[in-house]
């Protein structure tokens, strides 16, 4: 081979090698004539992966979320609580066992003299009770008044009705529409055919309350239970969500109990009501307090089991989240 031919052969071999090298690195594939090859990707489009330092236990610590106080990601944040709707039978009228009261009034005549007792025309709202009525007192201070009340109301009584004045009754002061002063006692009229309009809880009368009827305390019980259920379900699959939902259940328990305590201290609390809840049924006030206390204790156990602290910090906003804004 002549020197000129050997030089041509080597040059062609070098060009072929260069083409192979360009195709093999994945960044410069063959491009048809007349078209430009795509520009190489900017280095800013592929940031380096962030390194998360291992926790003391040796486990990887997830990035903290700015939305919560525990290490939950945005994808595992606690769900929004769905408000309780009114009962389907709210507003319906039914007949059942209960009582209402009427006033038996005496007008003051002056000089230490009182007029004859008379049954007032009006009456209180109906209150639901059991169908086992108390027996009228057979004697005592109010025996004569009770006999007169029964005599005046007898024509309107139905079979099984009971009219009585409790033996421990005391006079209350009154003022009539004409401005005259008087005194009265309540006459209780029990009947098995009382008419009741079912409230937002689907309960007769107004003594039973619930979240749907506006009870903040009942809503607190419901919300604490909702959060505890959420935490328990996430216990095995999402420790971060579990710990945070349980902490919020603790917050709700604390807040609702404080809410009741503060209202009782300021005479703003109505004793003796029953609370109809979404999870625990109808509760007396004492039972409702016990349930809420237990929910807080159970939530604290779940919080610890999911990596939380023995005494989780809760804010005022978290403790009052059960109060609708």
For the stretch 121-171, pLDDT in tens is 888 888 989 999 999 999 899 999 999 999 999 999 999 999 999 999 999
Global confidence as pTM? 0.66
Q: DSSP string of 127-171?
A: EE--S-PPPPPSSSTTHHHHHHHHHHHGGG--TT-EEE--TT---
Kindly list the domain boundaries of the chain, sorted by start residue.
Answer: 93-197, 207-319
- Digit-coded pLDDT (tens) for 277-289: 999 999 999 999 9
pLDDT value of position 137: 93
CA distances for 75 relative to 68, 71, 72, 79, 241, angstroms = 12, 12, 8, 10, 9
pLDDT in tens, 161-170: 999 999 999 9
- The percent of residues above 70 in pLDDT, for the chain, comes to 77
Q: What are the φ and ψ backbone dihedral angles of 113, each rounded to 5 degrees? A: -105, 145
Say if CB 304 and CB 310 are below 8 A apart.
yes
| pLDDT surpassing 60 at residue 29 | no
- Please give the pLDDT value at position 102: 95
Residue 269 has pLDDT above 80, yes or no: yes
What is the pLDDT, as a whole number, of residue 152?
93
Task: Give the pLDDT of residue 283.
Answer: 97
Whole-number pLDDT of residue 185: 96
pLDDT higher than threshold 70 for residue 22:
no
Question: Is the pLDDT higher at 14 or at 290?
Answer: 290
pLDDT band at 175 (very low <50, low <70, confident <90, very high): confident
pLDDT in tens, 82-93: 999 999 999 999
Tell me if 273 sits within 8 A of 209, measured CB to CB. yes
Residue 219 banded pLDDT, cuts 50, 70, 90: very high
């Amino acid at each position: 081979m002549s020197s000129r031919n050997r030089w041509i052969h080597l040059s062609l071999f070098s060009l072929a090698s260069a083409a192979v090298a360009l195709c093999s690195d994945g960044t410069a594939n063959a491009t048809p004539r007349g078209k430009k090859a795509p520009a190489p990707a900017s280095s800013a489009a592929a940031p380096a992966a962030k390194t998360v330092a291992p926790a003391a236990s040796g486990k990887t610590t997830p990035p903290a979320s700015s939305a919560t106080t525990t290490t939950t990601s945005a994808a595992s944040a606690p769900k929004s609580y769905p408000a309780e709707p009114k009962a389907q039978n709210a507003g319906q009228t039914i007949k059942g066992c209960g009582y209402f009261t009427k006033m038996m009034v005496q007008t003051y005549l002056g000089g230490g003299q009182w007029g004859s007792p008379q049954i007032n025309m009006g009456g209180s709202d109906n209150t639901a009770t059991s169908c086992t009525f108390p027996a009228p007192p057979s004697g005592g201070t109010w025996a004569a008044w009770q006999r007169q009340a029964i005599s005046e109301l007898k024509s309107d009584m139905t079979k099984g009705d009971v009219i009585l004045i409790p033996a421990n009754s005391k006079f209350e002061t009154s003022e009539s529409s004409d401005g005259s002063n008087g005194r009265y006692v309540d006459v209780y009229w029990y009947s098995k055919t009382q008419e009741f309009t079912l409230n937002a809880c689907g309960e007769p009368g107004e003594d039973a309350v619930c979240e749907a009827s506006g009870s903040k305390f009942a809503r607190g019980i419901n919300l604490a239970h909702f959060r505890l259920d959420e935490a328990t379900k996430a216990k095995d699959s999402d420790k971060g969500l579990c710990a945070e939902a349980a902490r919020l259940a603790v917050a709700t328990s604390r807040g609702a109990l404080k809410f009741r305590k503060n209202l009782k201290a300021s005479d703003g609390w109505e004793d003796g009501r029953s609370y109809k809840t979404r999870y625990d049924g109808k509760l007396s006030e004492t039972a409702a307090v016990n349930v809420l206390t237990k929910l807080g204790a159970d939530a604290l156990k779940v919080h610890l089991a999911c990596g939380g602290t023995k005494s989780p910090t809760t804010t005022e906003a978290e403790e009052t989240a059960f109060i609708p804004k």
